[in-house]
Amino acid sequence: MANYDVIIIGAGSVGTPTAFSLAEAGLRTLVIDRRASAGQGSNKAAIGGLRATHSDPAKIRLCLRSLDIFSTWKAKYGDDIEWQKAGYSFVAYREREEKILKDLLAIQKPFGLNIDWLDRDDFLKVIPDLNPDGLIGGTFSPNDGNASPLLVLHAFYTHARRLGAEFRFNENVTGIDAAGGRVRGVKTDQGEYGADVVINAAGAWATPLAKMVGMDVPVKPDSHEAAITEAVAPFLKPMVVDIRPVTGSANYYFYQHATGQIVFCITPSPNLWGEDCRETSEFLPMVARRMVDVMPRLANIRVRRTWRGLYPMTPDGFPIVGWAKEPEGYLLVVGMCGQGLMLGPGLGELIARMVKHDLAESDQEMLNILSPYRQFAGQEKLK
Ligand SMILES: Cc1cc2nc3c(=O)[nH]c(=O)nc-3n(C[C@H](O)[C@H](O)[C@H](O)COP(=O)(O)OP(=O)(O)OC[C@H]3O[C@@H](n4cnc5c(N)ncnc54)[C@H](O)[C@@H]3O)c2cc1C
């Protein structure tokens, strides 16, 4: 039987950068995924938004580190991941949203986030095509950005392999060997592999893998729809997020990718629980009306493709990261909700420090927030 220091289940937004960081730390790493290549789960459904402007210290710190990694990747490793430092903007057309966004600033600013409130006229200088009617203003965080989820994963995959990590695709993990209260390896439909540490990075499918070691992990797949237009000349810089709830949707967001297409997504309300990834005929009319309302210029752009993918949701909207109390050596990195791509690189480095028992004080603080054994009583404000 082949033996490794660490086995990661899932070559997705989180498992792949984690393999990169573990291999960089000199650990013998195996990644197993039942799909044909890296990033074929929820990762490829992501639209590529990358931000550190969250509402809690753990996600802010992890994503600040991720943004450092994304923004310097090309200079350091040579791969073009289509990173753009284009910023994020949250619009306010009503006093309710103005208050929510301004209240959040009080939490975000002490963490060193570069984010500010802009009144209407200054906001329109950043996004000239916004509908000015009724616009109060919004927040703008210029250091956030976007990249291609597929190119990001391909880059991490290539460099993880270069550093010695092994990947096995088209292989389904069917069991965890945890004899005597400690992890010893995994069983798949094709063989058995030994390791002292097994990481569950199985995204929306994490719950059955946690059950294999007797853990109840509250991660539920939640279906979200997205779309992409034809490419047009650049006219829009930041991601535009509108958090006004209306019937059928909680919020929606869109940006112009480096290659010219507008990419967009909606948060359905109520949630669409389950693994149904068939596109719907409701999505496009609903989101298009909302988008054209805030940016009339979008009225004539042609939509090329829609798709649906899964958010791995947790009850409080925060990821679940931590060691199982039992069996020893079983590590959960699951429940990324709508932010797995942006969390991945920062989390990968944190996981490498956990496995090497080399945690800083700030790591411990983040792990307390993300603990699998927390009460799940809070609620993330910017899910
Ligand atoms: C429409 C949409 C838009 C989004 N936009 C963004 C965005 O702009 N920015 C952002 O950061 N996030 C975004 N997300 C969220 C993001 O896609 C997810 O949070 C992220 O992909 C989850 O990463 P993961 O590694 O946990 O799971 P995944 O990327 O799904 O990886 C899990 C892997 O585990 C494998 N697996 C599961 N079970 C087994 C098993 N038994 N054996 C072997 N392999 C197994 C799967 O095949 C899969 O490849 C979006 C999601 C959707 C649906």
Atom of ligand 1 nearest to the CA of 253: 8
CA of 362 to the centre of ligand 1 (A): 26
pLDDT surpassing 70 at residue 381: no
Give the tens place of pLDDT for each residue, 319-375.
Answer: 999 999 999 999 999 999 999 999 999 999 999 999 999 999 999 999 999 999 999
Give the containing element (helix H, strand E) for 242.
Answer: strand 239-242
CA of 42 to the centre of ligand 1 (A): 3
Give the tens place of pLDDT for each residue, 40-64.
Answer: 999 999 999 999 999 889 999 999 9
At 27, is the secondary structure helix, strand, or coil? coil
Provide the whole-model pTM: 0.97
Asked if residues 90 and 239 have their Cβ atoms less than 8 Å apart, the reply is no
Asked if residues 140 and 238 have their Cβ atoms less than 8 Å apart, the reply is yes
Task: List residues near ligand 1 (CB under 6 A).
Answer: 9-15, 32-35, 40-43, 45-49, 172-173, 201-205, 209, 224, 226, 265, 309-312, 336, 338-342
CA of 45 to the centre of ligand 1 (A): 8
At 326, is the secondary structure helix, strand, or coil? coil
CA of 293 to the centre of ligand 1 (A): 31
Taking residues 278-305, what's their average pLDDT? 94
Q: Of 336, 343, 383, which is best to mutate to test ligand 1, by the most ligand atoms within 8 angstroms of its C-beta?
A: 336
Quote the pLDDT of residue 133.
97
Q: Give residues with Cβ within 8 angstroms of 328, minimum separation 6.
A: 181, 182, 183
